[in-house]
Structure 1
Amino acid sequence: MIAANEAAPLLEKARRILVIGCSGSGKSTLAQALAARLGSPYISMDREFFWLPGWILRERGEVRRLIAEAVAGERWVMDGTSPGTLDLRLPRADMVIWLRMPRLLCIARVVRRRILHSGRSRPEMAPGCPEKIDYEFLHYIWNFERTETPEIHAALARHGPDVPVVTLSSPAEVRDLLARLDAAL
């Protein structure tokens, strides 16, 4: 793991960056900010790979094919955790930024975006997938660290042992990272 204060020079040189973390942690916001600063394409896993209109999950083989095509690109910033696809993404990544925000913050952000995007899809989501919240989604967020973190650690060890990982655990650390990157650019 790399300290946040050491990440900006590495980000400046990175061509392919994964931004992972719990729903509501700020993955999309950070990934878009990085893509804009670095002049890289932004890829939303939810929009590009997983969801079809009406919250229909794309078939797993098709998802993996689309991801394999996308990660073959020379430059990108991709947001999305999906531990089951890290085997495709980590070998191509130059850096991982793991947002490990407090779960109450993640839940508050998910509630806020539900209010802001009521009845419509947010830009990072596939068209025809209006913002929603249900018990299953809140349960996923509440238990993310316990259920998903072991899978992420295993995938990092197996498929990306040499990929630098920066862990950010507060909005202030995210702002600091972006400020340091701005200063480096």
Structure 2
Amino acid sequence: MQRIAIMGCGGSGKTTIGRQLADLLGTHITHLDAIYYDDQWNKMDAEKFAAVQEELVAADRWVIDGNYAGTLPIRLKRADTVIFLDLPALTCLWGIAQRRWRYRGGQHDNTGVYDRITWGFIKYVWGYRKDMAPRVRAMLAEHASHADVRIVTSRRAANALLADLKAAGR
């Protein structure tokens, strides 16, 4: 476990799990939101975003959290471990609400997370399992057959996965 790609719906816990795994591996975590968006929430050019990810995955060790289906194959092809947080919409919405309460809005700790909760974002979260999860699963099948793929469907399962990985000293 040297190169870990983490994906899932907003509020699923990508950053939390990513931080813990990066600490376990003695490396840093890269939050794709922090790369893709600037301080004014402007998006990076698609080609540049892909090129940045190509550079990131060329390293020997990394933990990267983020979705971005258009560039997901870049991460999947190089990852040796993939964690897909496929949690229920209500769990993710609760995670978003907790995050908002904890940070009181605004940009958070260089994670790229910004409490920009819009109706469109809520609809995206609500429909993620129906609309995005099948696409992610198809990309996992196509680009990550070589990797240890973990599909996590609850907070309890996520905590158990972390506990197992820590116990194994990985």
- What interval of TM-score do these two structures reach, taking the shorter chain for normalisation? over 0.9
- Is the counterpart of residue 123 in structure 1 residue 109 in structure 2? yes
Which of 138, 144, 153 matches 1:160? 144
* Cα offsets for 1:78-133 (capped at 9, x unmatched): 1112111112111110010111111101001112212322342112534xx74221
* Partner of residue 172, structure 1: 156
Q: Quick one: distance in 1 between partners of 2:92 and 2:133?
A: 15
1:25 shift after superposition = 0.4
SS in 1 for 2:72: helix
* 1:30 aligned residue (17, 42, 50): 17
Q: Render the CA deviation track for 1:115-166: whole Å, top value 9, x for unaligned.
A: 322342112534xx74221100000000001111222122222222222211
Q: What SS is found at the alignment partner of 2:63?
A: strand
> Does the CA-based 8 Å contact 2:73-2:143 persist in structure 1?
yes
Across the two proteins, how many residue pairs are aligned to each other? 169
Please, which runs of 5 or more residues in structure 1 have no aligned partner? Answer: 1-13
Aligned to 2:7: 20
Partner of 2:94: 108
Whether contact under 8 Å (2:82, 2:147) holds in the other structure is yes
Equivalent residue runs for 1:27-66 within 5 Å: 27-47=14-34, 49-66=35-52
Q: What TM-score, normalized to structure 1?
A: 0.85
Query: 2:168 maps to which residue?
Result: 184
3-state SS, counterpart of residue 108 of structure 2: coil
Q: Could you tell me whether the CA contact under 8 Å between 1:45 and 1:78 is conserved in 2?
A: yes
Q: 1:144 to 1:124 in 2, by over 3 A?
A: farther
Q: Which contiguous aligned blocks of 4+ residues in structure 1 show a shift greater than 6 angstroms?
A: none
2:63 counterpart of 1:77: yes
The normalised TM-score by structure 2 is 0.92
1-structure distance, mates of 2:9, 2:151: 13
Structure 2 unaligned blocks of 5 or more: none
CA contact (8 A) 2:86 2:133 kept: no
Give the letter aligned to residue 96 of structure 2: V
Relative to structure 2, which stretch is displaced further, 101-110 or 169-178?
A: 169-178
Q: 1:5-52 CA distances to partner (integer Å, 9 max, x unpaired)?
A: xxxxxxxxx1101111110000000010011011122111111x2101
- One-letter amino acid of the structure 2 residue matched with residue 106 of structure 1: C
The share of aligned pairs that are identical, in percent, is 34
Cα RMSD of the aligned pairs, angstroms, is: 1.5
